[in-house]
Amino acid sequence: MANLGFVGLGVMGGRITRRLLAAGHTVSGYNRSREKAAPLAELGLVVRDTPREVAESADVVFSMVTNVAALRAVTEGPDGILAGLSPGKIYVDMTTGTPEASRAVAEQVSERGARMLDAPVSGSVSTLEEGRLTIMVGGDEDAFAEVEAILRDIGPTVLHIGGNGQALLMKIAINLSLHVQMVAFCEGLLLAEKDGIDREVAVEALLSSVIASPMLKYRGPFVLEMPEEAWFNVNMMQKDMNLALEAGRRLDVPMPTTAISNELLTAARGMGLVEQDFAVVYEVMAQMAGLRGVRS
C-alpha cells in the first residue's frame, strides 16, 4: 500500500479517491470547497489545508482539476504542490489541459528533484464506478513503472503513451470524438422523430445498431432523461474541443467536424445550458429542428 495525496475532489477526483481508499492506500486530500472532502473523510481521507501539505505528506501526489488556470492555482505559490515536492516524489496530474502547460509544470517538478507524469482518463462516472476506466500516461518510463500498480487500482487499462504531454494530446484526440459522435447520434434521432417515430423507439433502435459505441450506450439515454448531476458539462466539453482545434492548427490537421460540432456547444452556452451534461446538445438541435427537447 502507498502513501498518496490527491488535490481536486470533484466529480471524478472524489470518486477516484474513493477507489484509492477502498484499495487500502493512505490518502491525504485537498479541495478548494472543503465540504466536498467531508464524505471522503468519513472513509479515511486525511483532509489537508493546502495543496502543499498534501504534497509534503505523500510519496505520490495526484491532482485533477478543471483546466490549466486551476492547475496553476494548485501547483504554484507558497502553498502549491510544487512547494511541497522533494527529491524522489512522483507527481501525477490527471487534469485535461494543454500538453504545453503540462510540460512546463514537469520542468518545474524536475527542478525539485521529483518526477511528473500526465495521466488523463478516458471514461465517465459510470465507467469509473464500474472499474472500467482507461488511464493514459505520459512521462518518464521508470516513474510510470513505479506507479502503474496504483493506477490499476483506479482502472484496469493503463497505457504508457509517450513523453510528457503526449497522454494529454491522446486524451484530447479521444474527447473530440465524444462530442462529434453525440452530435451525429442526435442528427439521426431527430430525423426519425421528425417523421413521427417515437423517441424511445428510435433511441432503442440506434443503441441496438452498429453505431452504438460504449459512449453512446451510456450517454445516449440522456436524450430521454438528463442526469441530475452533469457527468461532463458543456463548459468542460467545449474546453476540450477548443484544445483539439488549437492542436489541429499547431499540427496542420484539418478538423471540420470538430469545428462545426463545437458551434453547437456555443449555442448551448447562449441558451443558458452551460452546466448541463454535453448531451444537452440534443436540446439545442431539437429546437433548431422545431421539436420538443428532453427538457421541454
For domain 3-162, the CATH architecture is 3-Layer(aba) Sandwich (3.40)
- Tell me the C-alpha distance between 244 and 246, whole Å: 5
The strand pair at 134-139 and 115-118 is best described as: antiparallel
- pLDDT value for 251: 94
Please write the tens of the pLDDT for every residue from 10-30: 888 999 999 999 999 999 999
* pLDDT exceeds cutoff 90 at 295: no
Please write the tens of the pLDDT for every residue from 201-211: 999 999 999 99
Closest C-alpha to 62, from 18, 22, 99? 18
∠ CA 254-185-65, nearest 5°, is 65
Query: Do 2 and 59 touch, CB atoms closer than 8 A?
Result: yes
Q: Of 128-137, 190-199, 247-256, 261-270, give the lowest mean pLDDT range.
A: 128-137
* pLDDT exceeds cutoff 60 at 104: yes
For domain 169-288, the CATH architecture is Orthogonal Bundle (1.10)
- Cβ-in-10-Å burial (0-12, 13-18, 19+) of 167 comes to buried
Query: How do the domains of the chain map onto residue ranges?
Result: 3-162, 169-288
- pLDDT value for 296: 54
C-alpha cell at 36: 466536498
Rounded to an integer, the average pLDDT of 69-90 is 96
Please write the tens of the pLDDT for every residue from 213-259: 988 998 999 999 998 888 889 999 999 999 999 999 999 999 999 99
* pLDDT exceeds cutoff 80 at 1: no
- pLDDT value for 4: 97
Residues β-bridged to residue 118: 93, 138
Which pLDDT band holds residue 35 (cuts at 50, 70, 90)?
A: confident
Q: Is the dihedral of CA 105, 88, 19, 118 positive or negative?
A: positive
- Tell me the C-alpha distance between 137 and 53, whole Å: 25
Rounded to an integer, the average pLDDT of 39-51 is 94
DSSP assignment of 204-215: HHHHTSTT--HH
- pLDDT value for 36: 83
Please write the tens of the pLDDT for every residue from 137-187: 999 999 999 999 999 999 999 999 999 999 999 999 999 999 999 999 999
- pLDDT value for 101: 93
- Tell me the C-alpha distance between 169 and 244, whole Å: 8
Average pLDDT, the chain: 93
Percent of the chain surpassing pLDDT 90: 84
